[in-house]
Structure formats: structure tokens, C-alpha cells
Structure 1
Amino acid sequence: MKLQQIFAVMWKELRQMARDRMTVAMMIGIPSMQLLLFGYAINPDVRHLPAAVADMANTAGSRALVQDMFATDIVRSVAGARTPQELQALLQAGQIRIGILIPADYERRRLDGREAVQVIVDGSDTSVQASARQLAQMPLEGQRVAGPAQISVLPLYNPRRIAAINVVPGLIGVILTMTMVMFTAMAIVRERERGNLELLITTPVTSAELMIGKVLPYIAAGLVQATLVLVLGAWLFQVPVHGTLWDVYAASVLLIVANLSLGLLVSTMAKTQFQSMQMAFFLFLPSIMLSGFMFPFDGMPKVVQWLAEVLPLTHFIRLIRGVMLRGAGLLELWPDALALAGFSVAMMTLAILRFHKRLD
């Protein structure tokens, strides 16, 4: 072995790496992104949870208690309710994460030392339960410390806080994001590297027909993956499906099409299959970190939440947990379903336009 030859090969690799802009971007971008995500965006201390209050007592004491609860910054008012049923409907539709129920005989209960307030929590996200329990430590009017069980916490949908029940529905989205984007990210590049692209250009197939034709087979593959996760989740971890299977599969199809469209757009920008894999991996990090799958969405800064709203996985997490754990329907969760559909149309349109330009 000669050091001069080793040095020559090393120098050649360094120059080749420097010429590959995607590799340089990955070397700089991934550690920078992780530092920003974990240092700035990820915050386990959840605040400003969307909440609604059903104050059936409407006394000076009950109104003061509500103001004190909102002053903690743990919750913020986003809707109003008059009855427990209205609170339940808001929770099921995902419009609020916490419902505060104050009964009509609040003052008598408070003076008797009985349970006087009930904090109803969307337990489909375990991090919300931990933050909501801080409200139960608040003292009522005339007390220095909270009375015994005077503010109770009622977690719905996952009262035992079993991690698998919270994780498995979101895992469907994570798996579909990783596989679907990767499959189609290499689609056009693979055709170009194998020389098949020139043959396709000579056929009467249009750009739109080619793109849609490449997407359709993977939809079936994605549904097989979703079914596998559902079956294993129910068998191994007893994960419930409170909604209909139709809504579960409809939400899955929306995410599959969104990810396939995004993968096709990546495929039109990459020059090699390795480059397409790099770009796809670059998209995985923010999707998994910011979607609410691993870390509480409500704990992120507003700017990061706006960025997360662009990611399809963020909307799917809300859809699938709403359907499987809360028993909601897609019509109740229409904003997130509409966001996924709009994302698919936008990405597919851009992919078709970019591919048409490549043909020119």
C-alpha cells in the first residue's frame, strides 16, 4: 500500500463530493435542521391548548376560576359551549383539546368540598393529558391550595394512557410517508437511467397520463401497508378503531396520493436515484418531527406550526387519530381532508409541468 495512491483516491473523492451540490447540502442541512428542530421547535411543555368552557353556573366565582385557568397559558379559548354534549362534540371533531365543565351547582359543590369542576381531555394525545392535569392543581375561590378532587380530569379516548394506542395510528402515516415518497422519488430517474424515458417520449402518452399511471399502482401498495399496520396493531396492542374502516382507508388514500405526488415532484428535480433518495430523506425529518407524531404539536412555536401545516403528515395525524380514537368522520374533519387533497393537486400539477419542460 502506498500513501501517495491512497491520497490521490481520497483527493478525487473530496473533489467529487464538492461537485455534488446535493451531497454538500445534505452534509450541512441535516445537522443544521436537527439542531433547529430540537433546540427551537421541539418543546414538551405544551401551552395554549385550544379549549372551550361550558359554564353552567355563570356565577362570579365560576367566571373568576375560568379567567384564572386561561391566565396559566395552559389553555386558550377557541370556542364556546353550553352543555357537556357540546363539549363532547367539539372534542370529537378535533376543534378543541380540552373542555372545562362547570356544573350549575358549582358554588354548593365548592363549599361542600366536593368535585366542582371537570376538565375533559382529548386523550388521543398523551402529552395533552399531562398538561391538563396541571389545571387540577389550581385552588378554587377562598382556598390557598386545591381542595381534594375538587377539579377532576377526565381523559377520553385513551384514559389509561397506553402509548401504543397513541402511536400506532400515527405510525400508519409515518410508514406511508417514508415508502410512498421514496418509491415515486426514483420513478422518473429510474426510467432515465435505464434508457426507458426516450421510449416513453416517442409514445402518444402525455405527461399527465404518465404521471397518473405511475401513481396508481402504488396506491394499492400503500393500502396493503395500512392494512398490515391496522391488523398488527389490533392483534398485538388492541388498538381500537372507533370510526369506520371506510374513513380510515379514505384518509389513507388521501395521504398516499399526497406523498406520491410529492415523490414525483422530487423525481423531476433529481438527476440520479441516489440524489432522489437524498432529497426524500431530507423531507422525512421535518415531517416526522413537526407533524405531532413524536412531539406535541401545540408545544411548537407559531412559526413552526405554520411550517408544519404545509406537511401532509400533519393533517393525516389529525385525521387518523380522529377517526380511529375519537370515532369522528371525515366530514367532521373536513379541513384536514381538504388540505391533503389540495396538496396532492398542487404537487401533481407542479410535477407534470416540470416533466413537460424536461421533454422540451
Structure 2
Amino acid sequence: MWASSARIYAVALKEIKQLSRDRVTFAMIVMIPLVQLILFGYAINTDARHIPAGVVDYTQNQTSRALILAIEATQAVNFQHHYYSPQEATDAIIRGDIKAVLILPHDLERRIALRSNRLTQDSARLLNEPIGQWLVDGSDTLIAATVRSLRTMPLNDVTQSALPQTPVTFEVVQWFNPEQRSVVNIVPGLLAIILTMTMILFTSAAIVREREQGNMEFLINTPIRPFELMLGKITPYVFAGLIQVSIILLVGHLLFSVPIRGGLLSLFGAALLFIFASLTLGLVISTIAKTQLQAMQLTVFILLPSILLSGFMFPYQAMPEPAQWIAEGLPATHFIRMVRAIVLREADFLVLQQDALWLVAFTLLGILLASVRFKKKLS
């Protein structure tokens, strides 16, 4: 018993010393639960608030302004833009600038007055008619549900009257996903998550495997430059990523009837930018990790925020500002915006140039950083 305990103690002590020298693994032991706790407890919120919205106000008087302020007081939406026509607002929804738009008609005051006074037979007929209309991006079911909750508004919030009054109602039109099927929103987002996991892991493990297997000795004796080695390593995985994109979209369309409204050229162009960004991130990880296990740990460390903060599972607008700042630094956030806009809202690649330029800048910076950190030597 004592001899067995001594041997177990010796092995355990060896593992503790080895773990203390492995800084990456020790950091993952501390950081992974810490990051998950912060993300789930602080950043994740299924109640969407301050949804970016626009308004088309044909009335433009005190009544319409009071109604807009009453709606904003619910903190469900934040009217960031005013548009002159529904078409202009529709284009903003397609670009992703806003998630919903409120349209107030010319006869807003008359409709409210008829509901409030109930003086005529016509007013009774109008009690069930909407006084305005909401146009909402229905591709995100949580955001659409939040806007639907604004379908009724108490009249005394607008008229400041103490008399019992009938609430006003709005017509809610859900675009791009009128059936409110969650799979329509999930499948395009899965493109980002699957590519993040596979592209980063494959690339980060590729160079680390060369180092572990001793193949770096052969590369040392060749005239290849670090930049050339980086590009050569990621080239095969570019085609692997495009194959994954094709499989996900095809299966999602055939099995789950997910529509593909945008052009395939725009879709694969956006996917190509994200694949390059993910591969370069994997290259940077490969210059940090010393073993394939460390490469996998660092991949998980990147994957968790990509799943939780990118808008894949939870609305981006529901997260606090610090979490949104972190999300803006993740390639998955920008790609999910692009792919959902192209696939579901039939957006053109050119109107998504801000996210596209960000992915290009991230790729160039990643290749530069990986090339600088890479050293063609064994130690």
C-alpha cells in the first residue's frame, strides 16, 4: 500500500510540474471556465432591447412625436434613422442598418381620435384597424417577437388623457421569414461556426504537427520564406472550406427548405473572405501553441466567444456594449451579418462592404503577424 501510494504520488507530482511548465494549458484551465461564466452570466441575454429601428413619419406633428417617444420608452427599440419612404427604409433593412421600421400614415391623428372618442359608427368600425405599420426583419425570431410585443400601445401614453381608452394597434409585417422558423436563421449562422471550428483547428494543427513530427528540419534546409510557407499551408484548406459551405447550404435547402435568395457569387465571395480570415487566425495560433493539444485548446477558446457573441445564438442587440466590442473583433460576427443578409434578405455583396473590408484587413494583419512570429528553427 505504501509503495503503491508513493508511486502514485511520484507520477502526480511529475504531472503537476509538467503542467506548471505548460503555460498555455494552465491558462486554458483558468480562462475557459472564467470566460464561460462571464459570457453566460453577463453578455448573454435572450431579451432583445434597444433594437435599431427606423421610422417613416408622414404626419410629422406633435401626436406622431409623442407616439414615437412612447414606443421608445419601452426600451424595446431605438429609432436611429428617419426615412422619407418605405422603399428607403426597406433598403436599410436589407443592408442590415436597422431591424425594423415604423410607418405612420398621413391620417394618424384622425385614426387616434376616432378610437379615443368613439363618436360615430365609423369610429367603432375602425377600432380593430391599425393606426400604423411595423416592417420587421423576421429572419431573427427573437427580434421579431420583441417587435410584435409593440403591436398594442395605450392611448393615454400618447394623448396624456386620464380617461379609459382603447389601446391602439399596429400591423406587423414580418419579412424574409413569415413562418418564424428558427432553422431559417440557424443554418446560415452554422456556416460561420463550422468554418471557425474546422479552419482554425486544421490550420493551427498543421504547422504544429510538422514541428512535432520533425518535418521542420527539412523546411529549414529549403529556401522557402515564412510568408510562402504560410500561404502554402492554408491553400488546400481554402478549397476544403468552400466544399463545407456547399454541403451546408445544399443540405439546409433540401432538408430544411432554407431559402437562398441572394446570388451565389456574392455568397461564395463572402465565404472566401471569412475562410481566409479563419485560416490566418489558425496560423497565428500555430505560432503560439507548441503541441496539437494546445492548438485544440486555443481553438476552443476562440470558438466559444464566436458561438455566443457573434449573433449566432443570441441577438447582437441584446448584449451590453462591452460584449459588442468584443464581438466586433471576431471574424464570425462580420460573416454572420453578411451571410444572413445575402441568403435571407437578398442583399448584394457591395452593400456589405464594411464587413467585407474588415475581414480583408483581419486576414492581412493575421498573415503579417504569423509570418513575423514564425521562425524556421527547431527551438
TM-score by length of 1: 0.95
Tell me which of 264, 270, 273 is aligned to 2:292.
Answer: 273
Report if aligned partners of 1:137, 1:145 keep a CA contact under 8 Å in 2: no
Tell me which of 131, 139, 153 is aligned to 1:124.
Answer: 139
What residue is the counterpart of 1:76 in the other structure?
78
1:325 deviates by 0.4
1:3-23 Cα shifts (integer Å, max 9, x gaps): 332232222222222222122
1:135-161 Cα shifts (integer Å, max 9, x gaps): 22322344856636x212211111111
Evaluate the alpha carbon distance shift between residue 152 and residue 358 of structure 1 in structure 2; reply closer, same or farther with a 3 A threshold.
farther
- Structure 1 residue matching 2:359: 3-state secondary structure: helix
CA distance in 1, matches of 2:318, 2:166: 26
1:16 and 2:31 matched: no
CA distance in 2, matches of 1:267, 1:146: 64
CA distance in 2, matches of 1:203, 1:22: 30
1:214 and 2:216 matched: no
1:85-119 Cα shifts (integer Å, max 9, x gaps): 11111101100011011112222333233211111
1:147 and 2:167 matched: yes
Report if aligned partners of 1:137, 1:146 keep a CA contact under 8 Å in 2: no
CA distance in 1, matches of 2:32, 2:165: 47
CA distance in 2, matches of 1:93, 1:227: 24
1:33 and 2:35 matched: yes
1:277 deviates by 1.2
Report if aligned partners of 1:46, 1:296 keep a CA contact under 8 Å in 2: yes
Tell me which of 46, 49, 56 is aligned to 1:44.
Answer: 46
Report if aligned partners of 2:56, 2:104 keep a CA contact under 8 Å in 1: yes
Evaluate the alpha carbon distance shift between residue 146 and residue 120 of structure 1 in structure 2; reply closer, same or farther with a 3 A threshold.
farther
Kindly report the root-mean-square deviation, in angstroms, between the aligned alpha carbons of the 2 structures.
1.7
Aligned length: 359
| 1:162-311 mapped onto 2 (5 Å cutoff) | 162-311=181-330
- Structure 1 residue matching 2:350: 3-state secondary structure: coil
CA distance in 1, matches of 2:82, 2:227: 47
Letter in 2 for 1:12: K
What residue is the counterpart of 2:69 in the other structure?
67
Report if aligned partners of 2:184, 2:259 keep a CA contact under 8 Å in 1: yes
CA distance in 2, matches of 1:100, 1:359: 63
Deviates more, 1:255-264 or 1:132-141: 132-141
Tell me which of 341, 346, 356 is aligned to 1:337.
Answer: 356
Letter in 1 for 2:284: L
1:27-51 Cα shifts (integer Å, max 9, x gaps): 1111111110011111112111111
Report if aligned partners of 1:51, 1:76 keep a CA contact under 8 Å in 2: yes
1:198 deviates by 2.0
**Structure 1 runs not aligned, ≥5 long:** none
Deviates more, 1:44-53 or 1:107-116: 107-116
TM-score by length of 2: 0.91
% identical equivalent positions:
47
What residue is the counterpart of 1:158 in the other structure?
177
1:210 deviates by 0.9
- Structure 1 residue matching 2:52: 3-state secondary structure: strand
Report if aligned partners of 2:56, 2:84 keep a CA contact under 8 Å in 1: yes
Report if aligned partners of 1:183, 1:263 keep a CA contact under 8 Å in 2: yes
1:359 deviates by 8.3
1:276 deviates by 1.2
Deviates more, 1:283-292 or 1:202-211: 202-211
CA distance in 2, matches of 1:324, 1:145: 44
1:47-94 Cα shifts (integer Å, max 9, x gaps): 111111100122321121011112222212222201111111110110
